[in-house]
Each structure stands twice: as structure tokens, then as C-alpha cells.
Amino acid sequence: MTKDKILVARAIFPDILERLVEHFDVESNQDDAVWNKAHLIEKLQGKAGVFTTGGDQIDAEVLDACPDLRICANMAVGYNNFDIDAMSARGVLATNAPDVLTETTADFGFALLMATARRVAESEHYLRAGRWSRWAVDMFAGADIHGSTLGIIGMGRIGQGIAKRGALGFGMRVVYHNRSRLAAALEAECRATFVGKDELLATADHVMLVVPYSPATHHLIGASEIASMKPTATLVNIARGGIVDDAALAEALKAGRIAAAGLDVFEGEPKVHPALLDVPNVVLTPHIASASVPTRRAMVGLAADNLIGFLTRDAPLTPINLDAIGARRRAAR
Ligand code: DGY
């Protein structure tokens, strides 16, 4: 039996690549070369499936140029790199990688919050630069985490993990804002109180963003939202670039409108707004919230299993648009 052809668009763990090779005729990018759209389209010719990361854009132009494509398997929980409507309209399945990264990403939210509020990175840079000559009582004095109010925007699985860490681990009062309110039992489990966005911004000591990116959340936090936060507050974005207006944030940090920020994601990443690079009270990390070795292996493994499940048994594990694909199939019968 001839094997389906698939493309693995980025370098992945060799043993998981081997697993794919058992099932498919695989072309892979193990050198992790940077491919532009034209090159991606060329590589996708004749391919039934593709393994992507959040940086690989699959839009109508790509889909129209690659008519053999049946599944795009993203190794990220976020999938704003996929045009889901365009995929559904063409009968192409999209899958993502939820759940396996929840706890690791929630851990990182706290790592960035601690580093930001307690000025870890800023003080470390100071020490390395040889500037520490004398200890002082207010040296790098920051904000407390324990006992403070944590505001979470976006209360999906990762937001819930952060809420539990905050409430149970650090004795924080947790408020959250989400498109829809959680069921009472889940709210109680997270020890979190639902509030409006304005109230959250005005009352939280620390604001953590965990909301998916969409046109509706573009620049959800801009100059006026930052101005409504406490001057002592910190802002942490582990969600997606574009949710915060990075230029407005850099200006607000320089002007001392809020105390500090921690950013793992950036508008237009891997480029970072140059103004942010000049600001001392911001901690910047290169989109690594889910980057523990076991979790990255689990994310890659899940994307691989989605390709195997769908193309060999019509049984993807974590589909996004299965209903739309099913309806299309039924209409074609
Ligand atoms: C995700 O899974 O969406 C993370 O941001 C990693 O890309």
C-alpha cells in the first residue's frame, strides 16, 4: 500500500519523526531552515498532511495552492496561524495541541510574574554589569506576590491553572474576566471571582493575560487600559503577541504608569518592538511558556498522533473543525 505523503515543516524530536516515518512518506525540515510562503507551498505539493508550529501560516492562498492537503496539525494550543474558515470551506482538518501544556504554561506564568514583580531580571543584569558596589535598603524593592490581587484575563485551562497556583500557593485574591463566566463549581475550584474587565484592571496588583488571539482581542490592552491600572501594578502576557499594544506598553513603562511587565509573546515576533528593549522594568522571554522538555515532547507527539490518527484511521485526537468537515462530507454524498 502506498503511504500518504506528509510534510514536517520544522525540526522535531528525531524519535517522533521516526514514528511518522513508520506511517508516512515524510519530507521534513530537520535543518529548521526558514521557509517563506512560496517555499512552503512548493514543499506542500502532493502532501496529504502537514505538521506545523504556531509560526507557520496556513491561509486560503496556501490551501488553494495545495489541493492534496487534508490535515494541518499544529503543535500549539493556539491556532491563530490557521485560517479555520478557509480550511473548513475546503474540507481540510485542523488540529491543535491542548491540555498537554496546561500545567507547564501555568508554571511559567508564575515564573514571569515573580521575575517581573520582584525585579529578578533587572537586578541580575545590574549585578552582571558590575554595578553592585553597596547594598541598600530599597535596592530593587518590588511588589509582593503573596496576599496580593491577581487579575486573569482569559479563563481557559491555563488561566484556571494560574488561578489555582495564585490562590492556593500564594494566598492571592483571584479575579478573572472571560468571554463567558465559569460554572459555579469550577469557579469555586479555582477560588476565582468573575469581574468586568474595567474592574479587573483597576483593582488587580498583577494582571496576567491568557486569552486567545483573534481580531476581537487585538490590542485588548492598549494605552487607555494600561492607564486604568494601578501605578504599582505589573502586567504579564503569556498569551499571544498583538493582544498588548507593545509600543503603548513601552511608553507607559518608561513613564512609570505601571511598575513593570513580563512578556513572553510579541506582536510580529520574533521581532520585538525596539522601544521595549530599552526599558529596564520589563522581562522579555522568547515565547517559551510551554518549553519544558517533557511538555514540548508531548506537544510534538500529540501533533504527530493527530496526523497518524486522521490519515490512517480517520480518528484525529484533538480536532478543531471536525464538525465542519463532517457536514461538508455529508453534503458531498
Ligand atoms: C501554544 O501552544 O499556543 C504556545 O503558545 C506555544 O506556541
Out of 265, 290, 300, 320, mutate this one to test ligand 1's pocket (max ligand atoms within 8 Å of CB): namely 290
Quote the pLDDT of residue 332.
85
Label residue 78 by pLDDT band (50, 70, 90).
Answer: very high
Structural domains of the chain, count: 2
What does each C-alpha distance from 42 to 9, 28, 284 come to in angstroms?
A: 12, 13, 35
Quote the pLDDT of residue 328.
87
Residue 299 pLDDT > 90: yes
Cell of 307: 496526523
Are 321 and 275 part of one and the same domain? no
Mean pLDDT (whole number) for 5-32? 98
Out of 95, 101, 263, mutate this one to test ligand 1's pocket (max ligand atoms within 8 Å of CB): namely 101
Are 107 and 243 part of one and the same domain? yes
Q: Which atom of ligand 1 is nearest to the CA of 105?
A: 4
For cell 507547564, name the residue.
104
Residue 12 pLDDT > 90: yes
Name the burial class of residue 294, with classes exposed (0-12), middle (13-18) and buried (19+) by CB atoms within 10 angstroms of its CB. Answer: exposed
Residue 330 pLDDT > 90: no
What would the pLDDT profile of 146-190 be if each residue is shown by its tens digit?
Answer: 999 999 999 999 999 999 999 999 999 999 999 999 999 999 999
What would the pLDDT profile of 40-52 be if each residue is shown by its tens digit?
Answer: 999 999 999 999 9
Name the residue at shortest CA distance from atom 4 of ligand 1: 76
Cα dihedral sign, 203-265-288-88 = positive
Considering 103, 189, 199, 269, which one is annotated as catalytic?
269
Are 109 and 251 part of one and the same domain? yes
Average pLDDT, the chain: 97
Quote the pLDDT of residue 308.
98
Residue 305 pLDDT > 90: yes
Quote the pLDDT of residue 329.
84
Mean pLDDT (whole number) for 285-303? 98
Q: Which positions ≥6 away from 130 have C-beta within 8 Å?
A: none
For residues 264 and 285, is the Cβ–Cβ distance under 8 A?
yes
User: How far is ligand 1, taken at its centre, from the CA of residue 53, in Å?
Assistant: 8
Label residue 66 by pLDDT band (50, 70, 90).
Answer: very high
Q: Which domain holds residue 200?
A: 102-284
Are 21 and 52 part of one and the same domain? yes
Q: How many CB atoms lie within 10 A of CB 299?
A: 25
Are 150 and 35 part of one and the same domain? no
Label residue 1 by pLDDT band (50, 70, 90).
Answer: confident
DSSP string, 243-291: SB-HHHHHHHHHTTSSSEEEES--TTTTS--HHHHT-TTEEE--S-TT-
Domain with residue 52: its CATH number is 3.40.50.720
Quote the pLDDT of residue 242.
98
